[in-house]
Amino acid sequence: MPSHGSLTKAGKVRSQTPKVPAKERMGLTPLHRNRKNFIKRVLHAPPEGETRRRRRR
């Protein structure tokens, strides 16, 4: 099976790329954010027949 380029050149560009430090995460990861929203919306939901009231602007 022919290959596209020689194997001796594999990883050449990645090894030449300068290392950039990772940025600090600003918020929660999606897993934790979804869990927090689930707890707020489902587990701490108001009793049946009662709705949450929205603030008017």
User: What pLDDT is stored for residue 3 in this prediction?
Assistant: 67
User: What pLDDT is stored for residue 37 in this prediction?
Assistant: 94
Q: What is d(CA 6, CA 25) in angstroms, rounded to the nearest whole number?
A: 39
User: What pLDDT is stored for residue 21 in this prediction?
Assistant: 95
Give the residue, 18 or 56, on which the prediction is more confident.
18
Give residue-wise pLDDT tens across range 2-54.
Answer: 667 788 888 899 899 999 999 998 888 999 999 999 999 999 888 877 776 77
In degrees, rounded to 5, the angle at the alpha carbon of residue 10 between the alpha carbons of residues 9 and 16 is: 80
